[in-house]
Amino acid sequence: MRGVILDSDSFDRGDLDTATLEACLDKWVRYPSTQPEQTLQRIKGSEVIVSNKVLIDAPAMASPELELIVIAATGTNNVDLMQAAQRGITVCNVRDYASAAVSQHVFSLVLALSTHLSDYTTAVRQGRWQKSGVFCLLDYPIRELAGQTLGIVGFGALGKRVAQIGTSFGMDVLVCARPGTESVPKGRVTLDDLLEHSDVISLHCPLTDTTHNLIGEAQLRQMKPDALLINTARGGIVNEADLATALRSGEIGGAGIDVLTCEPPHDNHPLLAPDIPNLVVSPHNAWGSVESRQRLVDEIASLIHDYQRGQPRNRCLPV
């Protein structure tokens, strides 16, 4: 079998052991990145496609040789699953490989915002501590997580891990019912209740028609004025222009964002403006520890092996 990796730079920067993956197929062609106009030519004649974020749409599936698409991520919105099912092409994704890294990053954002770490670091570099009349600086409010309420939207493996860490900080945890469902299972709350009562809201749901712009102007107004919003899930779940407005007006306390609707973003993206207070934006690297990326590569190899044995795992089917 022949395979093509369309965007290897998105997960391997030369620091991983790829021997198992390379041994999966007779021939691999590997591209650091792929632009939309390059996709058709690059996948031509391949039985296996590995793509992290490159769009695999109906035209890309027209090749009669194509048998297997492995998404080098958990999200499936870059592959037309309906077309794949109609053409008999197996699509698999990699699951729960980055929970440790992402949950760690969630609390990096929460703690940075709760302690105003960046503001205090800047103050020291500006010489303000050196000129202080007392031994410390307390120019920005510092908040303890203990006793706060952590609201989680999306309670899969990652959401559960974030809840566990929050509990270890002494936080109370609220879990949102699945967005779009009418009933509220025992132990869950509605999104409205979660927005109203949470001090920190962390998003871990997939981007779907139901969750697109799940958090917009109306929802931001429901949040506490000192609440923090954390999004390490997908861009598009939060309306970015509305969030920028809410932060500028002080409607919420702050936000930590690792994902944007357009990635990489353009220079005039609404959340990259320099005048937005209490905002931390990281470049979609919450998942990117060496350990999680190694697990990703190993699992891609395992998925291909299982497919070759006639036992495909983690199949992605249209809803």
Catalogue the active-site residues.
234, 263, 284
Contact 225, 249 (CB under 8 A): no
CA distance 108 to 105: 5
Q: Taking each helix axis from N to C terminus, what angle separates 99-115 and 117-125, rounded to the nearest 10 degrees? A: 60
Name residue 189's beta-bridge partners. 176
Burial class (CB in 10 A: 0-12, 13-18, 19+), 20: middle
Could you give the C-alpha distances from 112 to 109, 118, 141, 182, in angstroms and in order?
A: 5, 7, 12, 36
Contact 284, 260 (CB under 8 A): yes
CA distance 64 to 20: 27
DSSP helix/strand/coil, 237: coil
CA distance 151 to 174: 5
Taking the CA atoms of 219, 223, 226 and 230 in sequence, report the sign of the dihedral they define. negative
| Location of structure tokens 């303890």 | 144
CA distance 67 to 48: 6
